[in-house]
Amino acid sequence: MKLKFGIKEVVAIGIGTALFVALTQIQIPTPIPNTYLQPRMAVMAFLAAVFGPVVGGIVGLLGHALGDALFYGSVWWSWVFPDGVVGLIIGLFAAKYAIREGGFGSTKSIVFFNVIQVVSNAVAWIVVAPLLDIIIYAEPVSKVFAQGAFAFVGNIIIIGILGTLLCVGYSSIGAKSSSLTKED
């Protein structure tokens, strides 16, 4: 895997972060009280899948920190890092999804993307977030794991539905090199 960091990545981080921050204002309430689906997570997963781990990770970190600071005036650091973790892990396999090349859309690639996103969310919300909550904020153990579990479920739902749709949609429109099929 090559770590390319050019002009496009710089701009993608900038505009991706702006998107993430702007989408902080849409939260879809779920039937579970006090838990919201965050479409911004799906957008971040999409950007990570297209541009790779550096862009995904930084958009998650910077976007969450900046979005929280601008909208809510305080930054809950132990939940900023898990966002970065999700973006980073999803982005690690960017070359495999081949979204910009138009190769995303088969059942196999969709399943692969979703397995990765579930794993990354599990690491982020069931391990990293509660641990940081306990280490940094000394919050009660049962509370942070319950919150982590809600965030985990919420995020895999929104990334699973909206994130996958975005990847498929963009891949079929932006199809370039692999859109050609060999004729017999």
Partner 1 sequence: MAKILSYEEKDTWIHRLSGVTKLVFFLLWCLTSMLTYDTRVLAVMVAFSLVIFKISKTRWKQVGAVFKMIMLFLVLNVTAIFLFSPDQGTHIYGTRTVLFHIAGPYDVTKEQLFYELNVIIKYFTVIPAVFMFLVTTNPSEFAASMNKVGISYNVGYAFSIALRYIPDVQGEFTKIKHAQEARGIEMSGKASFISRIKNTSSIIFPLIFSSMDRIDTVSNAMELRGYGKHKKRTWYMERKLQRNDYLVIAFTVVFMVIALAVTYSNGSRFYNPFV
List the one residue from 1, 11, 111, 127 that touches partner 1 (CB under 8 A).
11
Nearer to partner 1, 41 or 183 (CB): 41
Cβ of residue 162: shortest distance to partner 1, in angstroms?
A: 6
Which span sits near partner 1 by CB under 8 A: 40-48, 86-94, 102-110, 119-127?
A: 40-48
Q: Residue 66, Cβ neighbours under 10 Å: how many?
A: 17
Burial class of residue 10 in the structure, from the number of CB atoms within 10 Å of its CB (0-12 exposed, 13-18 middle, 19+ buried): exposed
Contact call for residue 32 and partner 1 (CB under 8 A):
no
Nearer to partner 1, 142 or 182 (CB): 142
CA distance 11 to 129: 28
List the one residue from 1, 10, 95, 127 that touches partner 1 (CB under 8 A).
10
- Subset of residues 115 to 144 that bind partner 1, contact rule: CB under 8 A: 136-143
Convert 11-33 to b/e letters by CB count within 10 Å (16 or more is b): ebbeebbebbbebbeeeeeeeee
Contact call for residue 33 and partner 1 (CB under 8 A):
no
Cα–Cα–Cα angle for 76, 54, 159, nearest 5°?
65
Cβ of residue 11: shortest distance to partner 1, in angstroms?
A: 4
